[in-house]
Every structure is written in structure tokens, then in C-alpha cells.
Amino acid sequence: MRFSAGDRLGRFMSNMQALYQVFNRLTAQPECQTCRLCEEHVGLVYLLGNEADKAKHHQLPVLTTSNGVQYLGRTPHGWCSSFDPHKNTCGMYFDRPLCCRIYPLDLMKLDGKLWWVIHAECPIAQRFKREHQMGVLAAMTLAMENILSEEQLESWLVQDKTSQVIEAFTFDTSKVIKLRPYGESLGF
């Protein structure tokens, strides 16, 4: 059975909604009201599926690289174009992209292997660690893998690699905590 481009896009978008649901537990954490580490340290906000359309609806600049990677433009001061540094808020919070929704979780290639990690500097990550809730975050990554299509994973990895090139990305591995390798069981 062959699927049309519209059918594939529909399935892709349905998966995006399911992925957003996985991370509801990370939504509107109290630490976010006074912190802006994700804004200062995460880098480019890349867009999957119809997230570029959502950004344009909010009248935000969407940039596209020569290999088709889309991401939000930044202000002259280096902020994400959706971030208001005076109010410490996101202008499209309820429509924010997946890469923002999952923070402080991330998917990174470390020593040639794909890992789910958590950014250790984030106060949410510190609280989850302090409260012995890292298993909750690891379970979120497993749930995400069960929903994430190969196409979405491939797009994510291409976008992540592109953002690293654009930003001349350097990374300190001491700033992340490894949760589990991608594709492996939880182990507890």
C-alpha cells in the first residue's frame, strides 16, 4: 500500500501531537518562572513537522538552511525570537516546538552512540535528581521512542547536526547526565 504525501504528513503530525503529550510532565515547571538557562544554553530552536507554520502564525521569523532544516530566527541580542527577556516568557509557549518541550531532556551523540541525556544545569533536572525521579524522565524517553517515527528521528538528527555546525557547537559532557542509550531498555 502506498501512501500519498498528504497521508504521510497526516501521520507525521499525529505523531507530533502524541510526542507533545509525553512531555506534559515537564510543562510549566515552577523553576521556569525565574530561570532562562534553556534560552541561554540550548542553542537554535529547530522545527519539525508543521512547527514552522505555527511559528509563522505567531509572526516569528523561520529560517531554512540549504539542506532544508528550519529553525526560529534570533534577535540581534541573540535571544530566540519568541523569547521576551523582560518578562522571561515564550511568546508561543502553548505552540512551542518539540525541542523546547523536552528540555531539559535531549538526544545526543556521545562517543559515537546515541544517548538520552538531561542537561544537568537545569533546575528541573536538579530537582528530579534530588527527588530520585530520574526514572520518570527515562520512562518519558522510552515513551517517546515508541511514538517517534524513523522519519522524525532522522529529521531530528539532521537538524541537531546542522545546528551544531551553524553555532560552531562545542560541548562539555560534564554538563549532561546520561539517562539511557537510545533504543535500549530502562534497565531497572
DSSP symbol at 45? -
150-173 pLDDT tens trace: 888 888 888 877 777 776 555 666
pTM listed for this prediction: 0.78
The domain spans of the chain are 5-43+99-181
pLDDT of 176:
86
Query: Mean pLDDT, to the nearest integer, of 99-104?
Result: 86
105-146 residue pLDDT tens: 888 888 889 999 988 888 888 988 999 988 888 888 988 888
Q: What is the DSSP string of 119-149?
A: ETTSHHHHHHHHTT-HHHHHHHHHHHHHH--
- Residue 30's pLDDT is 78
How confident is the model over 56-91, as pLDDT tens digits? 999 999 999 888 889 899 888 888 899 988 888 888
The DSSP call for residue 47 is E
Q: What is the pLDDT of residue 139?
A: 87
Q: Among 170, 126, 160, 123, which residue's Cα sits nearest to residue 47? A: 160
* Mean pLDDT for the stretch of residues 81-102: 88
In a 13 Å sphere around the CA of 121, the CA atoms on its Cβ side amount to 12
- Output Rg (C-alpha) for the chain, integer angstroms: 16
CA atoms lying within 13 Å on the CB side of residue 9 = 6
Please give the C-alpha separations between residue 118 and each of 86, 94, 168, 170, 176, in angstroms, as whole numbers.
27, 22, 21, 17, 5
Return the C-alpha torsion angle 144, 146, 150, 152, nearest 10: -30
